[in-house]
């Protein structure tokens, strides 16, 4: 009989309990590990404390829906040109050239929707700069003692730091100066933040730049497809055509099809220009905004920062000039006393040297005045 069949129910129950105990121990260890991991993880508030990517980024889903609506409106508007023979060609450009014009129109409208969202964000940030974020009514100088007052004032204005480069820059500067208490380190931090904001603005135009690149490419694809269709249809008709008139008619259809095939390229190039110019202008406006933020921080923040001096006073702080002068005067008085003490000690050492020379019976010549020491007594 196999060994497994000889196991009694008692031993089988024992093995089952041991296995369950091991599983319980493993579960408890796993829970402890997960608890430690959760403690080390940052909260959502900490991760997004100074995340101001939304100051220049655009909700792509909403922009796509808005672009779709603009595309539908554009095609509805194009139908107006169908009722006139002189403008009927405009309708043919978008309705009779296959699927490519529909995609070109949608990408162009999507790009315009993105630029519209970015324009709104830019206007909001320019409005923030019209407010006094660091009012002189609180204090003309920004010191460690009044950092909390400036921080509370900025937050009291109600601007979302995630939607403004300037508000984020000011709050980060106040917090950094409160921790490091160093003007140069705070200036370096603000410079680093400026570079981060510039890179963020540049990356926010990636989708639009892809559209600017893709629109002409799609136009060329539409042209190639049109040429391919025209040539293939001509090749199929040539085998069945026996009359020269029929061949001429087919050649006319081919040349007409080739001319229509290049219409998609024309539309794509025009759309690409329409997107490229406002995109460049918008990017320049946002870069100008960053320059204004840098200038604001240099003029109204860094220029007013005051560190605590080595003597325990604030350098150039209002009302502290007299105290600083008094400390300088006390220091000068102390230095004069030190010099007098040094002169007294030097005089005493000289007398000791003369006395020692007299005891040794050696005549010592004073190099400064040429006097001789008196001879040693007999």
Q: How far apart are CA 102 and CA 94, in angstroms?
A: 7
Is residue 76 predicted with pLDDT exceeding 60? Answer: yes
Is residue 240 predicted with pLDDT exceeding 70? Answer: no
CB neighbours (10 Å) of residue 304? Answer: 15
Residue 366: the pLDDT is 46
Strand partners, 142: 305
Q: How far apart are CA 139 and CA 149, in angstroms?
A: 9
Written as six digits, the tokens of 208 are 């639009």
Largest CA distance in the chain: 158
Q: How far apart are CA 279 and CA 209, in angstroms?
A: 8
Q: How far apart, in Å, are the Cα atoms of 261 and each of 14, 104, 217, 267?
A: 83, 15, 14, 11
CB neighbours (10 Å) of residue 366? Answer: 12
Full-model pTM: 0.66
Are 190 and 302 spatial neighbours (Cβ–Cβ below 8 Å)?
Answer: yes
Q: How far apart are CA 350 and CA 4, in angstroms?
A: 109
Residue 327: the pLDDT is 80
What's the angle, vertex CA 117, arms to CA 112 and CA 121, rounded to 5? 140
Query: Could you report the per-residue pLDDT of 15-43, keeping only the tens digit for each?
Result: 566 566 656 555 555 566 655 555 556 55
Q: How many residues does the chain have?
A: 378
Written as six digits, the tokens of 295 are 């200038």
- Confidence category of residue 180, pLDDT binned at 50, 70, 90: confident
Q: How far apart, in Å, are the Cα atoms of 48 and each of 51, 53, 147?
A: 5, 10, 22
Are 105 and 93 spatial neighbours (Cβ–Cβ below 8 Å)?
Answer: no
Query: Could you report the per-residue pLDDT of 336-360, keeping only the tens digit for each?
Result: 888 888 888 888 888 877 777 777 7
**Residue ranges of the domains in the chain?**
3-36, 53-304, 319-378
Query: Could you report the per-residue pLDDT of 98-137, keeping only the tens digit for each?
Result: 888 999 999 999 999 999 999 999 999 999 999 999 998 9
Low-confidence winner among 169-173, 328-332, 372-376 (lowest mean pLDDT): 372-376
Written as six digits, the tokens of 316 are 């150039």
């Amino acid at each position: 009989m196999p060994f497994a069949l000889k196991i009694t129910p008692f031993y089988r129950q024992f093995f089952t309990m041991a296995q369950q105990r091991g599983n319980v121990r493993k579960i408890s260890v796993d829970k402890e590990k997960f608890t430690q991991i959760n403690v080390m993880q940052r909260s959502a508030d900490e991760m997004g404390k100074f995340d101001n990517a939304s100051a220049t980024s655009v909700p792509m889903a909403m922009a796509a829906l808005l672009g779709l609506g603009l595309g539908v409106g554009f095609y509805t508007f194009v139908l107006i040109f169908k009722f006139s023979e002189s403008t009927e060609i405009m309708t043919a450009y978008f309705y009779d050239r296959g699927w490519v014009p529909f995609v070109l129109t949608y990408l162009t409208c999507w790009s315009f929707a993105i630029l519209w969202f970015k324009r709104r964000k830019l206007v909001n940030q320019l409005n923030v700069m019209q407010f006094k974020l660091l009012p002189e009514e609180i204090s003309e100088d920004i010191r460690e003692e009044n950092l909390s007052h400036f921080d509370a004032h900025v937050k009291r204005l109600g601007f979302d730091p995630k939607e403004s480069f300037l508000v984020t820059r000011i709050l980060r500067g106040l917090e950094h100066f409160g921790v490091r208490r160093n003007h140069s380190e705070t200036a370096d931090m603000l410079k680093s933040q400026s570079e981060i904001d510039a890179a963020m603005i540049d990356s926010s135009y990636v989708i639009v730049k892809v559209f600017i690149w893709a629109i002409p490419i799609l136009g060329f694809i539409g042209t190639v497809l049109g040429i391919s269709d025209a040539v293939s249809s001509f090749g199929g008709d040539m085998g069945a055509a026996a009359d020269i008139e029929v061949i001429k008619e087919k050649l006319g259809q081919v040349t007409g099809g080739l001319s229509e095939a290049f219409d998609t390229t024309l539309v794509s190039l025009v759309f690409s220009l329409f997107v490229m110019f406002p995109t460049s202008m918008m990017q320049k406006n946002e870069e100008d905004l960053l320059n204004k933020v840098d200038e604001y921080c240099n003029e109204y923040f860094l220029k007013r920062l005051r560190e605590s001096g080595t003597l325990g006073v604030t350098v150039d702080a209002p009302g502290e000039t007299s105290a600083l002068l008094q400390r300088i005067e006390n220091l000068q008085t102390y230095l004069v006393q030190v010099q007098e003490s040094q002169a007294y000690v030097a005089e005493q050492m000289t007398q000791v040297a003369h006395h020692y020379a007299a005891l040794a019976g050696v005549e010592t010549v004073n190099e400064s005045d040429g006097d001789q020491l008196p001879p040693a007594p007999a």
